[in-house]
Amino acid sequence: MKYAIFRRTFNAASALGCALLVAASAQAGQGTTAQGYRYSSGGISDEEQTALRAQRQRFTLWIVTAASKTGAYLADVRVKVTDAERRVVFDGALDGPWLFVDLPAGPYLVEATLEGNRQHRVTTIHPGDHHEVYFYFNVDADAHGSR
């Protein structure tokens, strides 16, 4: 009987701890760049994915990182976005597989690096546009906090 009470208390405490961790990680992945552009990063848990999907339309650039063999989402990928004047408008390690940045219209170089493997894409955002850029890495997805 005592075990059952402890078990319920432990499970409730674990659930609360997980909820706080998700809330903290969701907050940690949001901010503003040095140039004043809003961004949001995350998407590891189902809750984060739901929250990010709800706000995705507010951003002009959507970046997704995944394992090439399995399609599993990846975290900890370093992403750098540079504008036409070669100014870095975003540079940071992602809190999850998704990064959304609200950038003005114009051309951008987007680079993603994981374990020394660097890839780049060029994209142009037009007024009213939303661009989605995918990066696939040849890695063991389980080693990188994949979904």
Residues in the chain, total: 147
What pLDDT is recorded for position 30?
A: 87
- Please state the separation of Cα 98 from the chain's center in Å: 3
Q: For the ranges 23-37, 52-66, 127-141, which has the lowest average pLDDT?
A: 23-37
Q: Is the distance from CB of 95 to CB of 103 less than 8 angstroms?
A: no
CATH code: domain of residue 37: 2.60.40.10
Q: Indicate the number of domains in the chain.
A: 1
Which residues form the domain of 130?
2-144
Q: Are 52 and 43 in contact (CB under 8 A)?
A: yes
Share of residues in the chain with pLDDT > 90 (%): 54
- Of the listed ranges 19-23, 26-30, 142-146, the one predicted with least confidence: 19-23
Asked if 106 contacts 61 with a C-beta cutoff of 8 angstroms, the reply is no
Per residue in 75-114, pLDDT (tens digit) is: 999 999 999 999 999 999 998 999 999 999 999 999 999 9
In angstroms and rounded to an integer, the radius of gyration of the C-alpha atoms of the chain is 18
Give the pTM: 0.74
Residues 90 and 81 sit within 8 Å (Cβ to Cβ): yes
